[in-house]
Amino acid sequence: MRIEEGIIRQLIAQGYKQLGIRIDSMDMFYRPYPMGIEIVLILRAISGNEISPEEYKRIINKIKEYFSEKGFSNIHLLGIIFSAVPERARQLYHNQDDHFIVDLWNRRLIIYENQSPYYSNLISMVEDIVHNEEYTTGLNQKGYIQDRNSHNQKTNIISFINTILIVVNIIIYILVHHTAIFGETIYAMQKGALYWYFVKVDREHYRLLTSMFLHSDFEHLLNNMLVLFFVGDNLERAAGKIKYLVIYFGSGIIAGISSISYNMIKEREVLSVGASGAIFGIVGAMVYILLINKGHLEDISSRQIILFTVFSLYGGIANVNIDNAAHIGGFIGGIILAVILYRRQRKAKAGEV
């Protein structure tokens, strides 16, 4: 018997009634009391990508409006989220209402420390069911949890946006270095590279973007794309596609501004190319997100990221041809952007019951 069925059975036994809702992934139960109404919303977010936080919040607000129009002034809502990837389901949480996450894969109940005690009477009931009820492996009739191999395949799917960025970098490298579509290689590099004089005096601001997709040689490209493949993939999973793009390009632009500012102050006449500024921004964002998630997120740990950062910065200092201003600027920019964009998970502290 599935965990969900056990919880629903207990809710009905405690006097909750089911109200039809036209969303396949949700079930809603309510129980009136003299001063208001209690609502339990069950959400199946198995991969964590079934519904956006904004859409989930909109649905909750609609439910509250419905009961408010029925004359209920005190509305208490509990969301019980079933997920095999709780770190993604965590993004659905918001401070207005209480939430439990049922981690189907590890058979545990996750609650948030800053929640109200209103639904504390349901904690032991849900926890007992999570620990004692069975659920079928293989695809069940509602299709929301598969066996271990299928789960691993799902969570290890290569991230879409990150893959596109890598492919675009490779294609541009081939076009610049192995075709004449942009003219001779040296001309194409000079036309798109970052140089403070061209940006400041000639106002060629496009170089802040084009320089991110140019690489001096194959080794330069390979090193950057390997790091982007591993770190960028994890960041896109954690932050989402749009936020990942903002962090990538935002960090790259901040890195470019840092580079031209430093070189202008030092009166250095150098051309800078490469995606490393944006990639250091990705690393900086991952450092922040890992700290928020207490040191571990899917396939990568804070120790791995910190060691990579230390060795990369050391390698830059030891190599006079490395644009350290871009690296440091991108890294700091990535942290700042992550602080701004990853605010939702920063507020949600999870603790296992």
Q: Is residue 318 part of a domain?
A: yes
CATH number at residue 244: 1.20.1540.10
Pair (83, 95) in one structural domain? yes
Report if residue 351 sits inside a domain.
no
Rg for the chain, CA atoms, rounded: 25
3-state secondary structure string across the chain? CCHHHHHHHHHHHCCCEEECCCCCCEEEEEEEECCEEEEEEEEECCCCCCCCHHHHHHHHHHHHHHHHHCCCCEEEEEEEEEECCHHHHHHHCCCCCEEEEEECCCCEEEEECCCCCCCHHHHHHHHHHHHHCCCCCCCCCCCCCCCHHHHHHHHCCCCHHHHHHHHHHHHHHHHHHHCCECECHHHHHHHHCECHHHHHCCCCCCHHHHHHHCCCCHHHHHHHHHHHHHHHHHHHHHHCHHHHHHHHHHHHHHHHHHHHHHHHHCCCCCCECCCHHHHHHHHHHHHHHHHHCCCEECCEEHHHHHHHHHHHHHHHHHCCCCCHHHHHHHHHHHHHHHHHHCHHHHHCCEEEC
More confident residue, 62 or 90: 62
* Residue 123: band (very low, low, confident or very high) from pLDDT cuts 50, 70, 90: confident
Q: Is the pTM of this model over 0.75?
A: no
The backbone torsions φ and ψ at residue 6, rounded to the nearest 5 degrees and listed phi first, read -65, -40
Shared domain check, 71 and 123 = yes
Q: Work out the percent of the chain whose per-residue pLDDT is above 90.
A: 28
Domains contained in the chain, number: 2
Residue 268 is predicted with a pLDDT of: 82
Question: Domain boundary residue among 109, 128, 156?
Answer: 156
Q: How many angstroms separate the Cα of 278 from the Cα of each of 155, 243, 271, 298?
A: 25, 14, 17, 22
CA angle, residues 28, 31, 36, in degrees to nearest 5? 115
Residues 173 and 314 in one domain: yes
Are 21 and 57 within 8 A, CB to CB? Answer: no
Asked if 152 and 164 sit in the same domain, the reply is no
Q: Which residue has the higher pLDDT, 179 or 23?
A: 179
The residue to which tokens 């602080």 are assigned: 339
Residue 349 has pLDDT above 60, yes or no: no
| Arithmetic mean of pLDDT, 94-104 | 81
- Please tell me whether residues 205 and 326 are part of one structural domain: yes
| Among the listed residues 98, 92, 79, the one whose alpha carbon sits nearest the alpha carbon of residue 49 | 92
Confidence class for position 340, pLDDT limits 50, 70, 90: very high
Q: Which residue has the higher pLDDT, 224 or 172?
A: 172
Q: What is the mean pLDDT of residues 100-114?
A: 80
Q: Are 101 and 231 contained in the same domain? A: no
Q: Are residues 71 and 196 in the same domain?
A: no
Sort strands 74-83 and 36-44 into parallel, antiparallel or unpaired: parallel
For residue 66, being part of any structural domain is answered with yes
Which of the listed residues 137, 156, 175 is the one where a domain comes to its end? 156
Residues 216, 142, single domain; the answer is no
Residue 353: inside a domain: no
Q: Is residue 350 part of a domain?
A: no
Q: Are residues 313 and 172 in the same domain?
A: yes
Domain end call among 134, 156, 178: 156
Q: How confident is the model at residue 159 (pLDDT cuts 50, 70, 90)?
A: confident
Mean pLDDT of 108-113: 80
Please state, in angstroms and rounded to a whole number, the distance separating the CA atoms of residues 170 and 51.
33
Instruction: Please tell me whether residues 26 and 97 are part of one structural domain.
Output: yes
In a domain, 177, yes or no: yes
Range of the domain at 325: 160-345
The answer to whether residue 352 is domain-embedded is: no
Say how far apart CA 287 and CA 197 lie, in whole Å: 33
User: Does residue 37 form part of some domain?
Assistant: yes
| Res. 339 pLDDT band, cuts 50 70 90 | very high
Catalytic machinery residues: 276, 327
**Residues 279, 133 within the same domain:** no
- Taking a C-beta distance cutoff of 8 angstroms, is the pair 252, 278 a contact? yes
214 and 334 inside one domain: yes
